[in-house]
Amino acid sequence: MIYSEKVMDHFANPRNVGEIPDANGVGEVGNAKCGDIMKMYLKIEDNVIQDIKFKTFGCGAAIATSSMATELIKGKSVEEAMQLTNKAVVEALDGLPAVKLHCSVLAEEAVHAALSDYYRRQGLDPAMFGLKNSCDGCCSGCGCEAEEAHS
């Protein structure tokens, strides 16, 4: 399997790793088939993502896509962050092998799950903003915070 230089760089030197203790948006997603788990932490102030961190348990591609996703939306508005797609993550990494494309989907879902959590904490329905109101199958029984909140 051949990875681009950007994938290798984000795997070897991931950006924005860790937790945000006072995060106001947290999302966790997992893929039962490959075992990857991603958790995103957002600190949003004045509708702007001031800080974002992640913790990922998974393969090199999962770590690289998590890292790139954080880089793509840090400093952006919530509305801009909601537009993040797995395709944008893949393009920013100069591509991924087909068997690893699911990692970019997880990165997109983790960001969206954190944004959904942010809206719920504001007393708003994430569906009003085009986001899932709960896991809606993204976690498939992983027991994440979003799933527990809506079970």
Identify whether the C-beta of residue 139 lies closer than 8 Å to the C-beta of residue 149: no
| 142 part of the active site | no
Cα separations in angstroms, 21 against 35, 53, 59, 81, 110: 25, 10, 25, 21, 17
| 103 part of the active site | yes
Residue of 103, 135, 138, 144 with catalytic role: 103
The residues assigned a catalytic role are 34, 103
